[in-house]
Amino acid sequence: MQNENGNRTIAQIQAFDRDIEYKNSHILYRLNEELSDPEAINNFYVETNGTIWTIGEHNKTSYRLIITAYNNETAWNSTTYNEQDFQIDIQVISINDKEPGKVFEHR
3-state secondary structure 53-86: EECCCECCCEEEEEEEEEEEEECCCCCCEEEEEE
Per-residue pLDDT band at 95 (split at 50, 70, 90)? very low
Mean pLDDT (whole number) for 37-46: 89
In the predicted model, is pLDDT for residue 15 greater than 90?
A: no
Write the CATH number for 76.
Answer: 2.60.40.60
**Which residue would you say has higher pLDDT here, 64 or 91?**
64
16, part of any domain: yes
Number of compact structural domains in the chain? 1
26, part of any domain: yes
1, part of any domain: no
- Domain hosting 99: range is 8-106
pTM metric for this prediction: 0.72
2, part of any domain: no
